[in-house]
């Protein structure tokens, strides 16, 4: 199993342009180790519409956008974003 950034390093060895389907064929069996479980690159890439990637970076960014919620920590958690209008946020704490 590999972390997401490490797994997508294999994209650099591919010949571009490359379609989503070709990328799945080449690296799809790679298992990703995510904070809340695992999935394969084929699982992540399968969520995308068919695209043609001109560079490894384009393929990498598309993959980052397609991983499941297993890749995030606590859902809905942020200590930086303001509370949206109309929502009750956490009580303010002063240090």
Mean pLDDT calculated for residue range 9-18: 94
The total of other beta-carbon atoms located within 10 Å of residue 44's CB is: 26
DSSP state at residue 2? B
Between the alpha carbon of residue 24 and those of residues 52, 66, 93, 95, the distances in Å are 12, 13, 47, 49
In the block, residue with structure tokens 């890749």? 71
Query: DSSP string spanning 31-70?
Result: EEEETTEEEEHHHHHTTSPP-EESSHHHHHHHHHHH--GG
Asked whether the predicted pLDDT for residue 94 surpasses 80, the reply is no
Work out the pLDDT band at 16, boundaries 50, 70, 90.
very high
Q: What is the pLDDT of residues 25-64, one digit of tens each?
A: 999 999 988 888 899 999 999 999 999 999 999 999 999 9
């Amino acid at each position: 199993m590999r972390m997401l950034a490490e797994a997508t390093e294999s994209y650099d060895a591919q010949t571009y342009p490359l379609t989503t389907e070709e990328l799945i064929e080449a690296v799809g069996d790679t298992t990703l180790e995510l904070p809340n479980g695992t999935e394969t690159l084929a699982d992540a890439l399968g969520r995308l519409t068919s695209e043609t990637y001109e560079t490894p970076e384009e393929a990498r960014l598309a993959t980052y956008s397609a991983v499941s919620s297993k890749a995030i920590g606590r859902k809905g958690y942020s200590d930086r974003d303001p509370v949206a209008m109309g929502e009750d946020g956490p009580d303010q704490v002063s240090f």
